Amino acid sequence: MARARFDHWTISRRSFLALSAGLAIAACDRPGPRPVRPPRTTTTLPPVPPLAKDPFTLGVASGDPTADGFVLWTRLAPEPLTGGGMPPVDVPVRWMVARDESMRHVVGEGHFVTGPEVAHAVHVVVEGLRPDRPYWYRFAVGDWETPVARTRTFPRRGHDAKRLRFGFGSCQSFRDGYYAAWRDVAADEDLDLVVFLGDYIYESGLRGAVRSHLVPEVITLEQYRNQYALYRSDADLRAAHAGAPWLVTWDDHEVENNYQGVSPEAGSTTPDPAQFLARRAAAYRAWWEHMPTRLPPPAGPDLRIHRSVDFGRLARFAVLDTRQYRSDQPCSPADVGVLCPGALDPAHTLLGTEQQVWLERTLRGSGARWNVLAQQIVFSRLAFTPPPDAIFNLDQWDGYPLARRAVLDVLASARVRNPVVITGDIHASGVADVKADFEDPASEVVGTEFVGNSISSGANSTLGAVLPLALANNPHVRWADLSRRGWVRCEVTPSAWRADFRYVDDVRVPGSPVTTATSWVIEDRRPVVRV
Ligand code: FE
Ligand code: CA
């Protein structure tokens, strides 16, 4: 067994951005000799400054798994809610990956030098590991050390993986409740992945039903950083990160409610376009600093986050960004209304041209059994009144009908096998048959949409009055619940996909019981859901 040690190999501050842009740190857990790529620059490590308090208050995380690695994340913040509290100097953070939970069989270790320009965030890209197995990791700096956390590599591309167990969730308003759902995720020791579909933080509102925010509205980089730190002050959320690798995307509230690309929401506190873009830059930067992702840091207000991840040949996840590139919503200053001609203009985009082309390529080139669109907003048609002049939530795919048409056309023309859309945003859960043409009730079912309940957003409130309307006007919606919080657990095999909707008893209670309320099953090449 070859084994690489990294005690004397360090990454300089200058090569930090190169590392973020893709330079990975090789570990080695493969049989036989294998060249280990050394980091490009070696220098002596900067000294560890005196740290009187635990700098690991935000926990640890891992993410963006591949067949030979993942990214490991932490951020040094002894005073998490007030800017972090680190001295403004570079700090070497020691990381360690092992094959066993007791950390006896170390397969990779090294130092990552972080600094004030990234709020002392750490993103270590580890490569060279064996496919399809768990690993454990920890960080240390000075005398401080994190607990051991668990992650895993994925099966090799092309490998006929037999089973994938993953969870997905979204919308975790800190104000609205406790994270019993994350406690339930953390207690599940058999999850290969957690997919987060957006609204990791909420930017507005001081007081909520259950807990309070730090400031009335988050606008500056320091405020966004503090808001992430506030959310991570929750031990259940930290535990969910420490138990499995995550695959994350964002929705609107990581910046501002219902923003559209470069346009702030109606009534925004940052209405000036330049001011809004500066805010978006701060928000994207803080998101990147706090997420376990191998993406490079944002360039100003831009960060490409759409990407795909394969779990062997069993599943391909296409992770979408339906916020950054979308056209402003032309039909109504409110989010709910009737479609107007502007929404049918071919220039009215949701994904943007580059992402649309990428998605087509990703779907056409997929040999996966299940093809997952991991994304934010409700994909299936959801009319609240009958046609003509049906009323829609125009913030969803319903407000961008040609963009949805383009995706449906690719699913049909490329004969994409088993498309499954997983969705957040709406603070309600549901299951829908994805129709080749939603306007034609007789058209065939080409895929399935699972809409996950929010982790906490919405507290115990209910949109129950809308439910009869949604079901009556949209026969392809097979089931919906508009009152409960939780997450969705999926078990995927070559022959079937089962989705268990896990419901929290009461989000106002820490550690409230979580139970499976309902389960839905689809089968290979049989997308119509059944209970
Ligand atoms: Fe939300
Ligand atoms: Ca949202």
Ligand number with the minimum distance to the CA of 252? 2
Which residue, among 325, 278, 316, has the nearest Cα to 300 in the 3D structure?
Answer: 278
Rounded mean pLDDT of the chain?
Answer: 92
Compute the distance from residue 431 Cα to the ligand 1 centre, in Å: 18
pLDDT band at 529 (very low <50, low <70, confident <90, very high): confident
Calculate how far, in angstroms, residue 250's C-alpha sits from the geometric centre of ligand 2.
9
Tell me, in angstroms, the distance from the centre of ligand 1 to residue 427's CA. Answer: 6
342 band by pLDDT with thresholds 50, 70 and 90: very high
Taking residues 365-376, report their average pLDDT. Answer: 98
Q: Which of 193, 217, 256, 227 is nearest to 62 (CA)?
A: 193
CB 376 within 8 A of CB 322: yes
Residue 377 CA: which ligand is closest? 2
CA of 49 to the centre of ligand 2 (A): 40
Q: What tokens does 206 get? A: 């001081």
Q: How confident is the model at residue 207 (pLDDT cuts 50, 70, 90)?
A: confident
Kindly report the number of other CB atoms within 10 A of residue 43's CB atom: 12
Residue 31 has pLDDT above 70, yes or no: no
pLDDT at 43: 66
Report residues near ion ligand 1: CB below 5 Å.
171, 199, 457
pLDDT band for 16, please (50, 70, 90 cuts): very low
What region does 387 belong to: left with phi over 0, alpha with psi -120 to 50, or beta?
A: beta
Ligand 2 center to residue 102 CA distance, Å?
Answer: 40
What are the b/e assignments for 372-408, b being 16+ CB within 10 Å? bbbbbbbbbbbbbeeeeebbbbbbbbbbbbebbebbb
Give CA 98 to chain center in angstroms: 25
Q: Are the C-beta atoms of residues 504 and 481 closer than 8 Å to each other? A: no
**Domains in the chain with CATH codes:** 3-152 (2.60.40.380), 164-530 (3.60.21.70)
Q: How far, in Å, is the centroid of ligand 2 from the Cα of 251?
A: 5
Rounded to two decimals, what is the model's pTM?
0.94
Compute the distance from residue 171 Cα to the ligand 1 centre, in Å: 4
CA dihedral sign of residues 437, 441, 446, 450: positive
Please give the Cα distance from 431 to 421 (Å, whole number).
10
Q: How far is the CA of 97 from the centre of ligand 2 (A)?
A: 35
CA dihedral 457, 294, 289, 6 (to 10 degrees): 130
Residue 14 contacts by C-beta under 8 Å, 6 or more apart in sequence? 41
> Are the CB atoms for 266 and 253 separated by under 8 Å?
no
Burial zone of 72 (CB within 10 Å; 0-12 exposed, 13-18 middle, 19+ buried): buried
Query: What integer is the mean pLDDT of 494-501?
Result: 98
